[in-house]
Structure 1
Amino acid sequence: MTPAGARGQNLVGTVRPMLGLPDGTRACLFDLDGVLTDTASVHAAAWKQMFDDYLRTRAEREGTAFVPFDAAADYGPYVDGKPRLDGTRSFLASRGIVLPEGAPDDGPDAETVVGLSTRKNDLVQEKIVSVGVEVYPGSVRYLQAVRAAGLATAVVSSSANAAQVLEVAGLTPFIDQRMDGVTAKQRGLPGKPAPDTFLAAAADLGVEKEEAVVFEDALAGVQSGRAGGFGFVIGVDRLGHADALRAAGADVVVTDLADLLDADLPAADLLDGDLLDGDRR
């Protein structure tokens, strides 16, 4: 893993025109699912399968109507970008369901927060193995440009499967540091929307938060970047939620990271958040 001190020292004044970033940027902090890889759809499918199985069983047991997990209405507000246990608690609370937390080693059949979360993670791993990982071509282009510019990079993900996804996707060589669900748990760091994991990643890279740019597709992640006081927060809108990303604190919203490479905007326009859907609506 490489600290930023070895990268980008002479880039002030040249980074933004190349990468669509503010002058003085020394590091890029990327969320993984939905920003670099299309694994957000894998997670959404796993959440839905797990919750629907549980909700159906619960409804049959209690003689109530089965109301499935809505991938459009429930995924973003309750689970997207959050640590797995937090996502499970958040969605269950939205349905008025309170379950025991459970033990750390609860299996996937346990009717506990840990048990349901374990089942969801098992489903994600099964899908990664059976289907593979799709990488956004624009994200590969952007990572290549970031590497060529000499900027430091980190992946900051709530997923416990980030290392596996990066390896399967072939993105490991582009990443200097990884702050994921496993590392955060080991360090006792709260997950997004708290800013702690992003701040820790910047520290690991040896850069100040003002010198780092956060790239996020999830509302919780954008809120995390804004709460951390980072130099710039870029929202990546894959689902048509640009306004929500802006409201959460994104300085700029793009539909693909390659949009930043293709941008030929004055710095004032970039910083005013004009790049993106606003130009395409």
Structure 2
Amino acid sequence: MIGLPDGVTACLFDLDGVLTSTATLHQIAWKQTFDEFLAHRSDGDRSPFTPHDYAAYVDGRPRADGVRTFLASRGIRLPEGDADDSPDAETTNGVGNRKNDALLRLIEEKGVQPYSGSVAYLEAARAAGLSIGVVTSSANGEHVLEVAGLTPFVQVRVDGLTIVEQRLRGKPAPDSFLAGARALGVAPGEAAVFEDALSGVEAGRAGGFGYVVGVDRADQADQLLERGADVVVDDLADLLNGAK
């Protein structure tokens, strides 16, 4: 009993906030980066980065998209730069790389913890014979899965590096989830998407997936349902207990 409709044969999991608690580290790293950046600006709205900003502009999106979208909300526009820009560069990619450096330091300091309910669900899904993929906007997906001890569960990984290499649109576009389904050899209607980000739930709905599970880690159950989740749970273990 894994709480999915008949006909679903594959699971596509977001990583940060769904399988691991690293969404909290991402939020801390974004706040550190943006608050420092804004403090040195003379233009735009320079008020501190908030949890609302994280949910509305950054969560679930590829790194450069998050920088671009948040700064646009503050009336600030930067040159794009290049993916290998120095973290000190005043470019979209430079600010994104600054955030990534902050995140890697936090992972080194605090480690990565998988949610116990998510591990239980992965075990149940594997035992039921479902295919398992991870779809994350993070370029650190491989590292986070390895540190969390989740690599053995995952047959396919689509991450931020894949998004760049394949020129996929980031969430809320469905491209990365569709790439995950293709890699597993299933049609979108045969796959369930598991997401905690509003943009990720939108992507699952836009892609025509068979079931979209919203994971409410940030007290936004109503918004997850509004964006297209078929069901919202506090923890993936809730699905094992019969929630549908």
Range into which the TM-score falls when normalised by the shorter chain = over 0.9
Letter of the 1:85 partner, please give it.
Answer: A
CA distance in 2 between counterparts of 1:115 and 1:51 reads 12
Structure 2 CA distance for aligned equivalents of residues 97 and 156 of structure 1: 30
Aligned equivalent of 2:97? 118
* Structure 1 runs not aligned, ≥5 long: 1-17, 271-281
Q: What 5-or-longer segments of structure 2 have no aligned partner? A: none
**1:74 maps onto 2:57 in alignment:** no
Q: Does residue 102 of the first structure (1) align with residue 91 of the second (2)?
A: no
The answer for the alignment partner of 1:22 in structure 2 is: 5
Find the counterpart in structure 2 of residue 257 from structure 1.
236
Deviation above 2 Å: which 4+ runs of structure 1? none
Task: Give the AA of the match of 2:38.
Answer: L
List aligned pairs for 1:157-236, cutoff 5 A: 157-236=136-215
Counterpart of 1:132 in structure 2 is 111
Corresponding position of 2:67:
88
RMSD over equivalenced CA pairs, Å: 1.2
Counterpart AA for 2:39: R
For 2:32, which of 26, 46, 49 is the aligned residue? 49
Question: SS of 1:214's equivalent?
Answer: strand
What is the CA deviation profile of residues 211-263 of structure 1, one whole-angstrom value per residue up to 9, with x for unaligned ones? 10000000110000000000000000011100000000000000000000011
Q: Say whether the 8 Å CA contact 2:45–2:75 is kept in structure 1.
A: no
Secondary structure of residue in 2 paired with 1:19: coil
* Structure 2: distance between partners of 1:65 and 1:99: 14
SS state at 1:155 partner: strand
CA distance in 1, matches of 2:220, 2:92: 29
What TM-score results when the alignment is normalised by the length of structure 2? 0.97
- Aligned partners of 2:83, 2:147: CA distance in 1, in Å? 27
1:153 maps to 2:136: no
Corresponding letter in the other structure for 2:110: V
Query: What is the SS of the residue equivalent to 1:74?
Result: helix
The answer to whether the 8 A contact 2:46-2:74 is kept is no
Q: Secondary structure at the match of 2:52?
A: coil
